[in-house]
């Protein structure tokens, strides 16, 4: 053991070997020395543990090289989402429209975030989006914060702290992460008054729960699950009637926040923000990066007096949006000024609207190209989903390319795809890799092909 350890080369010797190989030009000496030490330490530990039985200087030098190359890569990178889950939380949810990406680049330097260019006086960062949100949703006023979880927390804190909020038991959702409605209520200092049963709630249940301490009636979209069977619900409009009679505002946490009617493209019904506003909800809260297809954001639209309370609350400053998100949101919202443009330009809507025929033709073309590169690939029907707490339980008919890499188990092929450039996220099914094309934009098909060939083709 001691003799083995003594055979470990010195830092200088490894550095010299690296120089001889002409490896890593442009890397600072400090970084090289630190990496060499790191790798030497690991080798020493491996020798002590008996995992490594000999010192191989070449392998050590290669390890240093690989480590420096890896550390040069940015950690947060573009990936190709071939999972068939359109809004994949682990993959950054909604991909931004080209227009929104350009707006982010524009705003990245100095920008007129809180400056009115006409007068030269101070403006509000929300000025860039409030007008658009009013026009698109029909609401009186709007505010935007970091995400919808923050919007819910802010709305409850600003409108109901120390008082009661009435919610249906069937709407006590957990969104994921640690966002559970009852916990959020507690965090906001609100007393939760549950009404109805898990599967049924009636207007009379809400009515009976009203008291002198009731601050709000809250409706929550069941974003990630469905109730089927013996169920009943109170529509927003009826809740609004009750609220009006009792003089209590109605807040609707809509979750997904669709700004177009999905039925226009043969998709299932999903309540839109416009409908919730038209139904008379006093405040409607929704995410920017779900069905809206923009950046991470929490949007609140509704009555001016309520929105003003949100904007004046101390929490607002803690959860407000940054310039990059606001730039992306403004550019995305502009596309919605004409719903037809939104369907053509917003990636999530394009993915949702893609027809089975389009997807099949793309899958067949990709399968053919991959076959020509020696891969066993064919086009197969598949099922995609909206994901990200949108359209729960709705299977979207889709097409995928099924790839079998020779001599490589599917999970190994999937792992190779994850280290491709750009990385490809696929699904493993029945010992094959499935590349679902509904979550890939057509203009990315050539990139997907190159990545898959690079990762899996013979000689790769």
Ligand X SMILES: *Cc1c(COP(=O)(O)O)cnc(C)c1O
Q: What is the number of the residue whose Cβ is closest to ligand X?
A: 255
Is the Cβ of residue 251 or residue 405 nearer to ligand X in the bound state? Answer: 251
Interacting span for ligand X (CB under 6 A) from 210-218, 251-259, 273-281, 418-426 = 251-259
Instruction: Provide the minimum distance between the beta carbon of 194 and ligand X in the complex, in angstroms, as a whole number.
Output: 16
Residue 366 sits in the site that holds ligand X (CB under 6 A): no
Is the Cβ of residue 252 or residue 336 nearer to ligand X in the bound state? Answer: 252
Size of the site for ligand X (CB under 6 A): 16
Instruction: Provide the minimum distance between the beta carbon of 254 and ligand X in the complex, in angstroms, as a whole number.
Output: 7
Spatial separation of the C-alpha atoms in residues 252 and 151, rounded to whole Å: 11
Residue 148 sits in the site that holds ligand X (CB under 6 A): yes
Q: Give me the residues paired with residue 436 across strands.
A: 400
Residue 152 sits in the site that holds ligand X (CB under 6 A): yes
Q: Which three-class secondary structure string do you get for the chain? A: CHHHHHCCCCHHHHHHHHHHCCCCCCCCHHHHHHHHHHHHHHHHHHHHCCCCCCCCHHHHHHHHHHHHHHHHCCCCCCCEECCCECCCHHHCCCCCCHHHHHHHHHHHCCCCCCECCCCCCECCCCHHHHHHHHHHHCCCEEEEECCHHHHHHHHHHHHHCCCEEEEEHHHCCEEECCEEHHHHHHHCCCEEEEECCCCECCHHHHHHHCCCCEEEEEEECCCCCCCCCCCECCCHHHHHHHHHHHCCCEEEEEECCECCCHHHHCCCCCCEHHHHHHCCCCEEEEECCCCCCCCCCEEEEECHHHHHHHHHCHHHHHHECCHHHHHHHHHHHHHCCCHHHHHHHCHHHHHHHCCHHHHHHHHHHHHHHHHHCCCEEEEEEEEEECECCECCCCCEEEEEEEEECCCCCHHHHHHHHHCCCCCEECEEECCEEEEECCCCCHHHHHHHHHHHHHHHCCCC
Residue 253 sits in the site that holds ligand X (CB under 6 A): yes
Instruction: Provide the minimum distance between the beta carbon of 173 and ligand X in the complex, in angstroms, as a whole number.
Output: 6
Interacting span for ligand X (CB under 6 A) from 23-31, 43-51, 250-258, 403-411 = 250-258
Residue 149 sits in the site that holds ligand X (CB under 6 A): yes
Q: What token pair was written down for 268?
A: 């299932």
Interacting span for ligand X (CB under 6 A) from 65-73, 118-126, 145-153, 306-314 = 145-153
Is the Cβ of residue 68 or residue 216 nearer to ligand X in the bound state? Answer: 216
Interacting span for ligand X (CB under 6 A) from 147-155, 322-330, 359-367, 424-432 = 147-155
Is the Cβ of residue 92 or residue 374 nearer to ligand X in the bound state? Answer: 92
Residue 302 sits in the site that holds ligand X (CB under 6 A): no
* Buried b or exposed e, range 171-205, using 16+ CB within 10 angstroms: bbbebeeebebeebbeebebbbbbbbeeeebbeeb
Positive or negative torsion for Cα 96, 102, 107, 112: negative
Residue 157 sits in the site that holds ligand X (CB under 6 A): no
Give the phi and the psi of residue 447 in degrees, each rounded to 5.
-65, -40
Is the Cβ of residue 153 or residue 379 nearer to ligand X in the bound state? Answer: 153
Binders of ligand X among residues 341 to 360 (CB under 6 A) are: none
Instruction: Provide the minimum distance between the beta carbon of 114 and ligand X in the complex, in angstroms, as a whole number.
Output: 23
Instruction: Provide the minimum distance between the beta carbon of 152 and ligand X in the complex, in angstroms, as a whole number.
Output: 6
Residue 293 sits in the site that holds ligand X (CB under 6 A): no
Instruction: Provide the minimum distance between the beta carbon of 294 and ligand X in the complex, in angstroms, as a whole number.
Output: 11
Residue 294 sits in the site that holds ligand X (CB under 6 A): no
Residue 385 sits in the site that holds ligand X (CB under 6 A): no
Interacting span for ligand X (CB under 6 A) from 3-11, 143-151, 187-195, 310-318 = 143-151
CA-based nearest residue to 280, from 219, 339, 337, 223: 219
456: burial class by Cβ within 10 Å (0-12, 13-18, 19+)?
Answer: buried
Residue 147 sits in the site that holds ligand X (CB under 6 A): yes
Is the Cβ of residue 152 or residue 384 nearer to ligand X in the bound state? Answer: 152
Is the Cβ of residue 63 or residue 239 nearer to ligand X in the bound state? Answer: 239
Is the Cβ of residue 179 or residue 364 nearer to ligand X in the bound state? Answer: 179
Is the Cβ of residue 85 or residue 220 nearer to ligand X in the bound state? Answer: 220
Instruction: Provide the minimum distance between the beta carbon of 460 and ligand X in the complex, in angstroms, as a whole number.
Output: 38
Is the Cβ of residue 172 or residue 197 nearer to ligand X in the bound state? Answer: 172
Give the phi and the psi of residue 394 in degrees, each rounded to 5.
-95, 120
Is the Cβ of residue 39 or residue 167 nearer to ligand X in the bound state? Answer: 167
Q: 389, 400, 417, 445: which one contacts ligand X (CB under 6 A)?
A: 389
Q: 137, 157, 272, 287: which one contacts ligand X (CB under 6 A)?
A: 287
Binders of ligand X among residues 176 to 235 (CB under 6 A) are: 179, 220-221, 223
Binding residues (CB under 6 A) for ligand X: these are 147-149, 152, 173, 175, 179, 220-221, 223, 253, 255-256, 287, 298, 389
């Amino acid at each position: 053991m001691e003799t083995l350890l003594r055979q470990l080369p010195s830092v200088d010797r490894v550095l010299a070997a690296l120089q001889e190989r002409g490896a890593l030009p442009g890397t600072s000496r400090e970084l090289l020395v630190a990496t060499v030490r790191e790798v030497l330490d690991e080798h020493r530990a491996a020798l002590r543990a008996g995992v490594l039985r000999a010192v191989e200087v070449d392998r050590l030098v290669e390890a240093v090289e690989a480590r420096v190359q890896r550390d040069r890569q940015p950690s947060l990178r573009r990936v190709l989402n071939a999972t068939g889950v359109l809004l994949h939380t682990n993959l950054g949810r909604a991909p931004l429209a080209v227009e929104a990406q350009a707006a982010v680049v524009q705003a990245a330097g100095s920008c007129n975030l809180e400056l009115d260019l006409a007068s030269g006086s101070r403006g509000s960062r929300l000025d860039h989006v409030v007008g658009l949100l009013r026009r698109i949703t029909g609401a009186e006023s709007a505010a935007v914060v970091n995400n919808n979880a923050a919007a819910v927390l802010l709305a409850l804190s600003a409108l109901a702290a120390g008082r009661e909020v009435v919610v249906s038991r069937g709407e006590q959702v957990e969104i994921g992460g640690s966002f559970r409605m009852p916990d959020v209520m507690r965090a906001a200092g609100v007393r939760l008054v549950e009404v109805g049963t898990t599967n049924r709630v009636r207007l009379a249940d809400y009515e009976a729960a009203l008291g002198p301490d009731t601050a709000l009636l809250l409706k929550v979209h069941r974003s990630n699950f469905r109730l089927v069977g013996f169920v009943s619900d109170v529509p927003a409009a009826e809740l609004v009637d009750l609220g009006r009679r009792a003089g209590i505002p109605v807040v609707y946490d809509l979750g997904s926040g669709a700004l177009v009617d999905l039925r226009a493209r043969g998709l299932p019904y999903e309540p839109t923000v416009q409908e919730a506003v038209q139904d008379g909800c006093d405040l409607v809260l929704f995410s920017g990066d779900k069905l809206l297809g923009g950046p991470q954001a929490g949007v609140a639209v509704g009555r001016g007096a309520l929105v003003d309370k949100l904007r004046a609350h101390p929490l607002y400053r803690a959860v407000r949006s940054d310039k990059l998100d606001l730039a992306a949101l403004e550019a995305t919202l502009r596309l919605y000024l004409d719903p037809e443009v939104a369907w053509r330009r917003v990636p999530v809507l394009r993915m949702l609207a893609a027809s089975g025929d389009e997807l099949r033709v793309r899958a067949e073309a990709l399968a053919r190209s991959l076959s020509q590169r020696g891969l066993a690939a064919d086009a197969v029907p598949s099922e995609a989903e909206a994901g990200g707490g949108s359209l729960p339980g709705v299977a979207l008919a889709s097409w995928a390319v099924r790839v079998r890499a020779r001599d490589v188990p599917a999970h190994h092929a999937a792992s190779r795809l994850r280290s491709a450039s750009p990385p490809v996220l696929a699904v493993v099914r029945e010992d094959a890799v499935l590349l679902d094309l509904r979550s890939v934009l057509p203009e990315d098909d050539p990139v997907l092909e190159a990545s898959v060939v690079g990762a899996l083709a013979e000689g790769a």
